[in-house]
Amino acid sequence: MAGYGTAAWDVATEATAGPAPADGAGRTEPGAHPGAGPEERSGPATGEGPPAAADAPVCGVDYVHEEVVDRLRPELDRVAGLSELFKALADETRLKVIYALSRAELCVCDVAALIGGSKAAASYHLRLLYRLGLARCRREGKMVYYRLADPRVGAIIGAAVGEAPAGEPAADPPGGGRVRRGG
C-alpha cells in the first residue's frame, strides 16, 4: 500500500495494477497501459476529453477516515436544496434572466426583450424563478417588476464571468481568456 506523500500516479498504479514487486520488476513505464503514467490518469492533454469513469482510480482498500467524515457530515446540510438552484442555472435562457436580474430590476416586457422571446416565455422563466424563491416581484400599477431574491445568486454568475464584487478588481474569466462561442 502506498504511504503518505506518494505521488498520485503511484497510488493510481497500485489501485489499477496492484502493488509492484519489491525489486521493481514487472513495473510498467509511465504512459504505458495498464497502470499508465500521470498524463493518462489526470486526463489527456490532447483535448480528447476526460477518461471514462471506469478508468478512474479507486481505493484498493476499505478504510474510512472517520474524523474527516464526522466533521463534514453535519456540514452537508448546508447544501440541501441547492440542486434546485443549479437546475435553474442549467437552462441558458434562465441563466441570462438571472444575470439580468442581478444587474437591474426588470419588468416582464424588459426580460422578453432581453432574451429575444415572447412575453409568455419571459413570464414562464420569471414565474419558475419566483416559485423556486430565486426572484421576488413587486407590482406598480399594471407593471410587475422582478429582482433577485438573494444577491449571492448573482454573485455566483458574476464570478463565473469574471466580474469582481464591489470594491475588488476584476479577475480574468476561468481559462484565462475570453469565452469563445461556437465554431
Using one digit for the tens of pLDDT, what is the confidence trace for 78-136? 888 888 888 888 899 999 999 999 999 999 999 999 999 999 999 999 999 999 999 99
Sheet arrangement for strand 135-140: 106-107, 143-148, 135-140
The arithmetic mean of pLDDT across residues 149-170, rounded, is 76
Nearest to 135 by CA among 116, 119, 120, 122: 122
For the structural domain made of 84-155, what CATH number should be given? 1.10.10.10
Q: State the Cα–Cα distance between residues 152 and 116, nearest whole angstrom.
A: 26
Cell of 111: 426580460
- Say how far apart CA 6 and CA 18 lie, in whole Å: 15
Q: What is the pLDDT of residues 56-80, one digit of tens each?
A: 888 889 899 999 999 999 999 888 8
Domain with CATH 1.10.10.10 in the chain: 84-155
**Interior angle at CA 125, CA 119 and CA 126, nearest 5:** 85
Instruction: Report the pLDDT value the prediction gives residue 30, as an integer from 0 to 100.
Output: 45
pTM check: above 0.85:
no
